[in-house]
Structure 1
């Protein structure tokens, strides 16, 4: 029987911060605040596995050679002893490491060779059955190790979908559309994980648009499958005037309220159609986007404004993202 997902108020924790003094500081933060959850990298943005894995393809590829978390079971016990809900983050289809050692699993150019995005990063082909099995095997292992929930990030295709489609030869004999493939993968993952909640991260605009933006993420396909859906509604990631909000980074309350209002509306429509709908647990901004022209420093005040915007819509859970894993919830 699948356990229900906890109403998590969580933070992102990289594998490098999930140890030593950094870990103790983060545990203290959770003990001193209303926070109750940590999202911990199991497979990170580089495609590296953060602990000593027994998954066959991990060992074949050497994906866990760095393994910054020496004792994952011990870490999870330490967090459980502090009543911390643990979420395993698995970066699914952006996997430059696996592409470097198993080029046959990478997205391939129509002209031959491994395709790379505009930043030079290689992605695995989401259609490839070995790629799907790899991510699901890691999820199953994370659940067996004791994680309370499995979260899939980058469960999508690369951006600039039309350009990608013109350049990439996908391994797609079934002729599935991108949204069909993403939904199919999540269905397989959920079936393979009968005892833990499954969550998926989606683009912040996903609740507000009708299509998949060329990346395969359609709210109305994903929400009925997973237990929790986490739109990444970082104000800094919206363009000027997006959803009617000028300078989104300067208006965190308004931006979050507007974006999540669309998420609530989409879920209500699903429920009216007698479909299930995932719990909404947004990713909120806890970092300063200094590269944005009209930006501000994000501290406790800006984080609290976002939390309030979600709460005012009846959403009493959230995740905070800061790549450096430094968080402030108390206004000075």
Structure 2
């Protein structure tokens, strides 16, 4: 009897569970069927893709206050312990200070210089940390195509001894091809130059730039976008340039082609150009083909290299009554002694000119241009500290901070610090 009762109890309990659960199972099944039916009637909503205009506006806004450190190609891509230490140190600075971007070499005077796998990993790390990634691309000074495409290069009639350039240890970057029998023209540092008028050379640079976009860079920064300036340039023979067309017409054509091609490829890619510091005050240098009136209409940012130590002829600026600023007449030493004035006044002159170009463009165009005028984001120096210290000039963190504050007060769109050794005066940077 006890056994029967025990068995009956278990059976009764099991039945109760079955009876109790069945409605739940039925309800769940009905709900699933209802959801399936609803999904067939109302498709699942996918997140709305942003329009090109929205992406452009976002990139423009995010790039408007970039504070960057420079990183060499070897530090960016080399897997070695030394490179990793410097690379990680720069990323650490960006994570704990006001720095929010890194400019890294991907193509230098020796040619394209990066390890694709390692660079992709670095770009992924930067993206995860919300650090803006800028690819620095040296344009027409490029030794890598002398064998594959010698017809793109400047030559000369008779050989001339020049010091060996820094590419001797990077022969692996030279594209394969027959040994060229030409006598190449080389600048004072032994550098080789592509003809800025060469259409195939343009396409080579554009193709490379598109690959950097595919790699994931937020911005492409172009350096050496000019004719050569150092060496016996009068002896250079150009395979394409006719020596009659003004150099600035050649460069303007390249700027326009570069912008149109890359913006069509990725409308929200940001493009910037590195320009000699003295061009900020002179507005043009016809000997190298650079005119600000052309550059401000084709790039998003212009980066004047306003290094106080590089004003080899001094700094001479007229008074600016509209801003209440006196005339400046600095020797080379005085320009280095007053880094804040050297940087600030150079950028103010450039900004006033940019504003003038913007106002005249809007006034003379019907309908008004929709394209934006470039903003200024300068290169500042974070080097030569020992020489400055010995001379009693501002040095180290003090010198760097004086430049930063001057740049912020003059243009307000950020700045970049250059140190070829990848070591920075962190005491100049604000903690965040």
How high is the TM-score relative to the length of structure 2?
A: 0.68
1:284 counterpart = 2:353: no
Q: Residue 257 of structure 1 aligns to a residue in which SS?
A: helix
What is the 5 A alignment of 1:1-332?
1=52, 2=56, 3-4=59-60, 6=63, 7-18=65-76, 20-52=84-116, 70-99=117-146, 101-110=148-157, 113-160=183-230, 163-172=232-241, 176-194=245-263, 195=266, 196-243=269-316, 244-246=329-331, 247=333, 248-274=335-361, 276-288=372-384, 296=393, 298-330=395-427
Measure the CA separation in 1 of the matches of 2:259 and 2:136.
Answer: 15
CA contact (8 A) 2:153 2:238 kept: no
Q: Deviations over 1:76-99 (max 9, x none)?
A: 110111110000111001112323
CA contact (8 A) 1:204 1:231 kept: yes
Q: For this pair of structures, how many residues does the alignment match?
A: 314
Query: 1:132, CA displacement in angstroms?
Result: 1.1
Q: Residue 193 of structure 1 aligns to a residue in which SS?
A: helix
Structure 1 pair 110/255, CA: closer, same or farther in 2 (3 Å)? same
Query: 1:327, CA displacement in angstroms?
Result: 0.8
> Which of the pair has more CA radius of gyration?
2
Query: 1:74, CA displacement in angstroms?
Result: 1.5
CA contact (8 A) 1:286 1:298 kept: no
CA contact (8 A) 2:154 2:236 kept: no
1:67 paired residue number: none
More helix by share: 2
Query: 1:71, CA displacement in angstroms?
Result: 2.4
2:23 paired residue number: none
Q: Residue 70 of structure 2 aligns to a residue in which SS?
A: strand
Deviation larger for 39-48 or 27-36:
39-48
Query: 1:75, CA displacement in angstroms?
Result: 1.2
Measure the CA separation in 2 of the matches of 1:240 and 1:264.
Answer: 22
Q: Deviations over 1:11-46 (max 9, x none)?
A: 111122225222211111011110100011110232
CA contact (8 A) 1:249 1:294 kept: no
Deviation larger for 205-214 or 149-158:
205-214
Measure the CA separation in 1 of the matches of 2:339 and 2:274.
Answer: 20
Deviation larger for 23-32 or 173-182:
173-182
Measure the CA separation in 2 of the matches of 1:130 and 1:268.
Answer: 35
Measure the CA separation in 2 of the matches of 1:178 and 1:289.
Answer: 37
Q: Deviations over 1:27-69 (max 9, x none)?
A: 11011110100011110232232134xxxxxxxxxxxxxxxxx
Query: 1:177, CA displacement in angstroms?
Result: 2.0
How high is the TM-score relative to the length of structure 1?
A: 0.87
Query: 1:281, CA displacement in angstroms?
Result: 0.3
Structure 2: gaps spanning 5 or more residues: 1-51, 77-82, 159-181, 317-328, 363-371
Measure the CA separation in 1 of the matches of 2:383 and 2:392.
Answer: 11
Q: Residue 312 of structure 1 aligns to a residue in which SS?
A: helix
Q: Deviations over 1:240-266 (max 9, x none)?
A: 532222321221101101211111111
